[in-house]
DNA sequence: TGAATCTGACTGATCAACCAGTCAATTAAT
DNA sequence: ATTAATTGACTGGTTGATCAGTCAGATTCA
């Protein structure tokens, strides 16, 4: 009984509402009603609204990033020669995010995360720093090993552009359906994961300033 | 006297505050104080808070997308053979966004846009639809011409992943400085534009399921 | 000319509704 | 019996919006 049942339903309700109406647009009354508890109980369990937001972020980010960490380690452990392919590394990064984004809770959390990642205020930056820098450093180190020809600056920029693409692909905005006039949709998880890995793998390779000389060499990782 | 001076300062102030504190986190009183006018004047000029937000979006999106449209046309007009390179097309898309993102007003608008693009509620989707679908269709048609080997699904997915990367790169979150421990920073406009074009050009090419056979053929556009 | 009229820009005061957070009191669990 | 969980009532402050009214300047009428 590490966590109360009521506290969970408060976090669930707040997650839904924060995703839908933003932090400032969600009131403690709304959360209390959605969770079916008294408003004062939220303060009892979660102290302040600010802290409640961080609890939500902590719950999901640690969950997703633990899976990423495990799969990344698995990548290197099972790889022949100790170096996995770029696609394997990206799969361990993309899949936990996109798959969680399609679970019931993931559709809400992904919207919260996408907005947080694009915020420039100190509070948001500190939260991203706290919960996403450790996993970022692990992947940057992994990418350096998988792409030894890519200069450091390319690894950092590549990682950030990649994460932008992944994070922004998590919320189901249905924009692809509207743009393609119904031909395509964003509800096929496997299709989206495959596209993201393809796109980002090629994009990372393209960042190498030595791409002309190394096309053949690097392409073997992609192909 | 198409637009009042006071109305402009209201839009400017609201843009700053919406970027910093979100839509719901910004009050009409804050906007009035920031703009140096009476609160009621905002309602006189902009009717409702909701409408004020749309006015801000309209002002900047039409500005950026008009430049994109002009440069895209210029690409095709000046290209020998009528087909420009992929990099030229991407430059016409990326540059107006990133450059405006570093002007004084762009630093604010880019944060508003990034959050809007990642929202799934009907209101946000309608706004994106209204102000960004026309330019999206133009670039999708342009990409089809520049990348005739890429299947349609790849063009749509590629365009969306690319826009995610660009939009999320507009706000200066300074995350690259923190991650690289000061070695890199996101205040070099040219460097960032170059990286984004490199990454997205390679990513788009990578989406071709025929990439193995067409590497040489397609690579000429990149190289 | 000058007085009357109109108009768009602007304001302070005010509204009911809502806000996050507090606290004493009550209930449930151990 | 002690602790933990939960509640309703409450506080001081803020919310978006409205409304009657002020005021400068342009327009119209004499």
Both A38 and A136 in one domain: the answer is no
CATH number at residue B176: 1.10.357.10
Domain-embedded: residue A149: yes
Average pLDDT over residues A44-69: 97
Tell me if A171 sits within 8 A of B116, measured CB to CB.
no
DSSP label at A209? T
Cβ A125–B175 below 8 Å, yes or no?
A: yes
Check whether residue A28 has its CB closer than 7 Å to nucleic acid strand C.
Answer: yes
- The pLDDT, as a whole number, for residue B4 is 52
The average confidence (pLDDT) of chain A is 90
Q: Name which residue leads in pLDDT, B208 or B90.
A: B90
Q: A216: how many CB neighbours lie within 10 A of its CB? A: 8
Both B98 and B1 in one domain: the answer is no
Least confident of A69-83, A173-187, A198-212, B204-218: B204-218
Domain-embedded: residue B61: yes
pLDDT tens-digit readout, A80-134 = 999 999 999 999 999 999 988 777 888 899 999 999 999 989 999 999 999 999 9
Tell me if B164 sits within 8 A of A98, measured CB to CB.
no
Q: How many alpha carbons fall within 13 Å on the CB side of residue A135?
A: 25
pLDDT tens-digit readout, A167-189 = 998 888 899 999 999 999 887 88
Both B3 and B83 in one domain: the answer is no
Residue B19: list chain A partners with CB under 8 A: 120
Both A112 and A177 in one domain: the answer is yes
Q: State the total domains in chain A.
A: 2
Q: What is the pTM of this model?
A: 0.90
Q: A51: how many CB neighbours lie within 10 A of its CB? A: 12
Asked whether the predicted pLDDT for residue B74 surpasses 70, the reply is yes
Asked whether the predicted pLDDT for residue A150 surpasses 80, the reply is yes
- The pLDDT, as a whole number, for residue A223 is 30
Tokens of B159: 């365009």
Residue B159 to residue A53: CA distance in whole angstroms: 33
Q: A118: how many CB neighbours lie within 10 A of its CB? A: 27
Q: Where in the sequence is the domain holding A211, given as residue range(s)? A: 60-222
Tell me if A31 sits within 8 A of A37, measured CB to CB.
no
Residue A153 to residue A75: CA distance in whole angstroms: 24
Least confident of A20-24, A193-197, B3-7: B3-7
Both B105 and B26 in one domain: the answer is no
Which of B108, B195, B197, B222 has the most A C-beta neighbours within 10 Å, making it the best mutation to test the interface with A?
B195
Cα B184 versus chain centre, distance: 23
* Tokens 């990344």 belong to residue: A72
Three-state SS string over chain B comes to: CCCCHHHHHHHHHHHHHHHHHCCCCCCHHHHHHHHCCCHHHHHHHHCCHHHHHHHHHHHHHHHHHHHHHHHHHHHHHHCHHHCCCHHHHHHHHHHHHHHHHHCHHHHHHHHHHHHHHCCCCHHHHHHHHHHHHHHHHHHHHHHHHHCCCCCHHHHHHHHHHHHHHHHHHCCCCCHHHHHCCCCCCCCCHHHHHHHHHHHHHHHHHHCCCCHHHHHHHHHHHHC
Average pLDDT over residues B91-97: 96
Residue A106 to residue A108: CA distance in whole angstroms: 5
Average pLDDT over residues A50-74: 97
Both A23 and A113 in one domain: the answer is no
The Cα of A151 is separated from the nearest Cα of chain B by a number of Å equal to 12
Cβ B199–A198 below 8 Å, yes or no?
A: no
Q: Confirm or reject contact between A112 and chain B (CB < 8 A).
A: no
Tell me if B60 sits within 8 A of B35, measured CB to CB.
no
Domain-embedded: residue B62: yes
pLDDT tens-digit readout, B96-116 = 998 887 778 888 999 999 999
Domain-embedded: residue A212: yes
Q: B168: how many CB neighbours lie within 10 A of its CB? A: 24
Domain-embedded: residue B136: yes
| Residues around strand D, C-beta < 7 Å | A 4-7, 37-41, 44-45; B 26-30, 39-40, 43, 48-50
Both A64 and A172 in one domain: the answer is yes
Both B33 and B143 in one domain: the answer is no
Residue B202 to residue B158: CA distance in whole angstroms: 10
Both A76 and A132 in one domain: the answer is yes
Return the residue of B nearest to A194 by Cα: B207
Q: Confirm or reject contact between B207 and chain A (CB < 8 A).
A: yes
Tell me if B202 sits within 8 A of A147, measured CB to CB.
no
Both A98 and A147 in one domain: the answer is yes
pLDDT tens-digit readout, A128-149 = 999 999 999 999 999 999 999 9
Both B12 and B70 in one domain: the answer is no
CB neighbour burial string for B103-137, b if at least 16 within 10 angstroms, e if fewer: eebbbbbbbbbbbbbbbbeeebbebbeebbeebbe
What phi, psi does A25 have (nearest 5°)?
-85, 0
Cβ B173–A117 below 8 Å, yes or no?
A: yes
pLDDT tens-digit readout, B130-181 = 999 999 999 999 999 999 999 999 999 999 999 999 999 888 889 999 999 9
Domain-embedded: residue B52: no
Both B160 and B210 in one domain: the answer is yes
CATH number at residue B27: 1.10.10.60
Q: Confirm or reject contact between A195 and chain B (CB < 8 A).
A: yes
């Amino acid at each position: 009984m590490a966590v109360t049942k009521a506290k969970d339903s408060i976090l669930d309700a707040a997650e839904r509402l924060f995703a839908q109406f933003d932090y400032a647009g969600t009131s403690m009354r709304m959360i209390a009603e959605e969770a079916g508890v008294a408003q004062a109980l939220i303060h009892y369990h979660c102290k302040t609204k600010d802290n409640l937001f961080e609890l939500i972020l902590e719950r999901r980010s640690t969950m997703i990033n633990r899976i990423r960490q495990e799969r990344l380690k698995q990548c290197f452990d099972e790889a022949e020669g100790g170096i996995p392919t770029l696609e394997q590394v990206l799969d361990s990064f993309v899949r936990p995010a996109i798959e969680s984004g399609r679970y019931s809770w993931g559709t809400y959390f992904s919207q919260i995360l996408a907005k947080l990642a694009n915020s420039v205020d100190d509070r948001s930056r500190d939260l991203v720093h706290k919960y996403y820098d450790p996993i970022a450093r692990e992947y940057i180190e992994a990418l350096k090993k998988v792409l030894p020809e890519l200069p450091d600056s390319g690894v950092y920029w590549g990682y950030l552009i990649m994460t932008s693409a992944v994070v922004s692909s998590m919320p189901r905005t249905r924009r692809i359906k509207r743009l393609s006039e119904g031909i395509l949709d964003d509800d096929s998880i496997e299709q989206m994961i495959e596209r993201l890995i393809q796109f980002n793998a090629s994009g990372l390779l393209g960042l190498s300033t030595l791409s002309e000389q190394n096309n053949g060499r690097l392409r073997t990782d992609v192909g």
